[in-house]
């Protein structure tokens, strides 16, 4: 496993869902088009993730949104957040276009949403950092 890949959640198969790869590519194309259209900041690659900054706040949710292999944000690009978003990228690769539905079914509360928990609540900024990980 490389540093840019997340370990699967306990109980989650390492085998992607059928057609997940196509769904991931489709979502990445949509995310890339949306990011290229609205980004007014830097566009770069970070650990296999396309990062689009300078996005208007209405073009993404919370502090940023991962769509396939693209992370869309205004300016939320700390290394911890990018680590969190790389896990979401791996979730897209595993579930494909089923991910948005599964994510919604997991609920809007990030403290109870299994996808946010797997990506890391501290890295995502949903919980304060433990003293040992600053």
Considering the domain boundaries, does residue 117 fall inside one?
yes
**Residue 113 sits in which domain range?**
20-126
> Which region, left, alpha or beta, applies to residue 120 given φ > 0 means left and ψ of -120 to 50 means alpha?
left
What is the Cα–Cα distance from 134 to 132, expressed in whole angstroms? Answer: 6
What pLDDT is attached to residue 130?
82
**What one-character-per-residue DSSP string does 65-82 give?**
EEETTEEE-SS---HHHH
What pLDDT is attached to residue 1?
37
Considering the domain boundaries, does residue 48 fall inside one?
yes
Considering the domain boundaries, does residue 8 fall inside one?
no
**Number of folded domains in the chain?**
1
CB count, 10 Å around CB of 63? 18
Considering the domain boundaries, does residue 98 fall inside one?
yes
Query: Cβ contacts of residue 46 below 8 Å, gap of 6+?
Result: 77, 82
Considering the domain boundaries, does residue 10 fall inside one?
no
Walk along the chain (134 residues) and give the pLDDT tens digit of each residue.
334 445 556 656 789 999 999 999 999 999 999 999 999 999 999 999 999 999 999 999 999 999 999 999 999 999 999 999 999 999 999 999 999 999 999 999 999 999 999 999 999 999 998 876 55
Considering the domain boundaries, does residue 79 fall inside one?
yes
């Amino acid at each position: 496993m490389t540093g840019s890949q997340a370990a699967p959640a306990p109980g989650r198969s390492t085998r992607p869902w059928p057609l997940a790869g196509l769904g991931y590519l489709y979502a990445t194309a949509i995310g890339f088009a949306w990011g290229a259209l609205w980004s007014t900041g830097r566009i770069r690659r970070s650990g296999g993730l396309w990062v689009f900054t300078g996005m208007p706040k209405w073009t993404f949710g919370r502090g940023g949104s991962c769509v396939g292999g693209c992370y869309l944000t205004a300016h939320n690009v700390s290394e911890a957040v990018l680590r969190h978003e790389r896990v979401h990228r791996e979730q897209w690769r595993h579930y494909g276009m089923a991910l948005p539905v599964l994510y919604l079914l997991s609920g809007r509360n990030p403290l109870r949403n299994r996808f946010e928990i797997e990506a890391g609540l501290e890295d995502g900024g949903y919980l304060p950092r433990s003293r040992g990980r600053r």
